[in-house]
Structures are given as structure tokens and as C-alpha cells.
Structure 1
Amino acid sequence: MDAVNQALYEAAQKVRKKAHVPYSRFPVGAAILADDGNVYAGCNVENAAYPLGACAEGSAISAMVAGGGTRIHRIFVIGDGDKPVTPCGGCRQRIREFAGADTVIFCAGDDGEPVKYTMNEILPDSFGPEFLEDKS
């Protein structure tokens, strides 16, 4: 694992321990390397009134935006088990809002090797903000 991935992995693992998951008991952490060079992390936060909880990826994106970052250069997602924990469909779209087709997404479980995807591989033929740009 390169130094950037190691830093993202450690940030995702650290924040994952703070996840509020009394219902699923499935803590997830995510860490983003943003265009401003900073790492932003988030964890899932569940709520008794489903579906009002927040996914780790969305929490990390919110932290990035609040911190001044505008683009995702790389993201690392980690959860329990030996299989890679990939973003849910909604989070794939949330990531896409701030990522290009070639943005790298690493997914891992505690006991397995990270799997590398590009945004285009994990959400092919996606609808992004460029579709809404003023064309006049």
C-alpha cells in the first residue's frame, strides 16, 4: 500500500471506531483525499427513524465540503469482514458529484486486501453535475 493509501486507510479505520451503529452493528469508515491536499473522514451514523441515518461516505463528503475541499482525488472505504465493503448506490452518486470518471475508490474489509475501482467502474454511465451545466 502506498503512503497515501496507508494514510487514508488509517483515517478510515480510526473514524470507523466512532460510528453510531446500534441497529445494523456494521460500522463503516471512509476517508477522502481532496483537491486541497487534506484528508477528510466520516463514519456511518444510524438513526431510529430510518432512513435518516448517514453513510460514512456521505459524512466524509460533508466534512470535505465544510473544510473547503471541492473534488475527491481518492477515497478509501472500510467495513467489517474479509470482503470489500463498497459504497451503496446512493453513496456512489454522492461520490460522483465530486469525482471524475477516473477517480480511484479503494474498498476493503478488516481482514481482506483492498480492491481498487475507478468511479466509472463502480458507477458506469453515470449522471454527473456536468449534465446540468448551462449550455447556452
Structure 2
Amino acid sequence: MSLNEELIRLVKDGLKHSYAPYSGVRVSALAITPEGRVYRGVNVENASLGLSVCAERVAIFNAVTNGERRIKTVVITSNLDRPIYPCGACLQVMQEFGVEEVVIVHGDEVIRHKLKDLLPMPFTWEGRR
């Protein structure tokens, strides 16, 4: 998938919608389907930190809410001075929906990873239909 300027602008633009009053770390993500449909997500923090949710999962859940069941690519950016990577929970959710590539946008840098390289031994449910 070619990460065009419009997608880079869209993921960076999402940072302004992040709700991060506790950590100050703003994260924005895009979930992109094999057909090219794009769903946005941002991190949402909560005073009860365990109730916070990552941008990657918000984007994927937004796609699922709109009827999608397969996500090809997840794009992530943040306001940190270094590239941000998905947490284990987000990687596992990406596995569930077939994500192939994770793209981190940091400034002008675009870093690409195959999901299987970031999560080489995912949990799977053998009884899944």
C-alpha cells in the first residue's frame, strides 16, 4: 500500500482530537481496509487509567462498528520526539482482524513493519469458526 500525502496528513491531523490530559501523549491512528476504506481513531485517556484506550484499537473498532471485518494496514503517529509503537493489546487486536502491515509516521519518516514481525507468536483461538 502506498502511504500517500493525504493519509499522512489525515493521521497527523487526528492528533488534535486525542484526549490525553494525564500523559500528554497524543496518538492518532488509521485503520485501512483492503478496499482502501479509512477509519480514524485517537487515544482516549481516563482518570482510572485502566479505562484508557489506544488509538489503534479505536480506529479498528470504528471500522468494525461500520461493518468491516478485515483491516489491511494500521498507520500510527504521535506527538512524541521518537517513533511510537503499538502495545501488545493493540497488536493482538490487529491480529484478530488480519492486519498485514503497521506503519509508523514520525515527522517526515515512514517506518513500515509486517505485523508478523511485531507479533511473531500471537494468541489464537483454536475453536474459532
Q: What TM-score do you get using the length of structure 2 for normalisation?
A: 0.88
2:40 aligned residue: 41
State the Cα RMSD in Å: 1.9
CA distance in 1, matches of 2:5, 2:120: 27
The answer to whether the 8 Å contact 2:15/2:42 transfers is yes
CA distance in 2, matches of 1:122, 1:11: 24
Alignment map for 1:11-26 (pairs within 5 Å): 11-26=10-25
CA distance in 2, matches of 1:80, 1:112: 13
Q: Please tell me the residue identity of whatever aligns with 1:38.
A: R
The answer to whether the 8 Å contact 1:75/1:104 transfers is yes
Matched, 1:114 2:105: no
The Cα shift of 1:82 comes to 4.3
The Cα shift of 1:20 comes to 0.5
Matched, 1:81 2:80: yes
Q: 5+ unaligned residues in a row in structure 2: which ranges?
A: none
Deviations 1:66-117 (A, max 9, x none): 11111111110001234221101111111111025xx0110132x3512110
Q: Please tell me the residue identity of whatever aligns with 2:103.
A: F
User: Percent same amino acid at aligned positions?
Assistant: 32
Q: Please tell me the residue identity of whatever aligns with 2:44.
A: V
Number of positions where the alignment pairs a residue of Structure 1 with one of Structure 2: 129
Q: 5+ unaligned residues in a row in structure 1: which ranges?
A: none
